[in-house]
Amino acid sequence: MTALDHERAKYLHSQGFSCSGIARSLNVAKSTVSEWAAKEGLSFDRTKTENATRASQVDRAARRSQIIERLYDQVDTVLDRLEQTEDTPARDQRDYSVALTNYLERVTRLELVDGEPGLAQAESMLGRLAEGFGFTMKGEPI
């Protein structure tokens, strides 16, 4: 960056421009601006970026939730087909079983992304149940 670029960058920074915004204005790499700012002892307000990241995470979690519901609907559909008649050919039964396994594996992987929904409640319930029977979670008597 030239001396003029440094002055322009300092001005843009004082106006609240982001690192990316300054880089675009000066037509330089973001890393160049970042290194310059570090040397100058300047930092950037990352609140907007953090808020946008959080919003994006929430949006993706909501989409995963919708996909999970759709996959469970598919599981129900396949189970219904499997249970419709007792005369279901073995090949169809195998195909239905494969489909069920695939849907349930996908659901499980998606649920794990968001921290195993229900796991904490299940562990809590099991803990209370064990205590009710007079045991610790390690299976030892109280």
Which range, of 2-16, 28-42, 85-99, averages the lowest pLDDT? Answer: 85-99
CA gap 103, 79 in Å, rounded: 11
Q: Indicate the class that CATH gives domain 3-40.
A: mainly alpha
Is pTM beyond 0.75? Reply is no
> Looking at per-residue confidence, does 120 or 48 come out higher?
48
37 close to 19: Cβ distance less than 8 angstroms:
yes
pLDDT score of 41 more than 60: yes
Choose among 52, 48, 57: nearest CA to 21.
Answer: 48
> Do 31 and 39 meet the contact criterion of CB atoms below 8 Å apart?
no
Q: Average the pLDDT over 98-121 and give the result.
A: 78
- Measure the CA–CA gap between 10 and 26, rounded to whole angstroms: 11
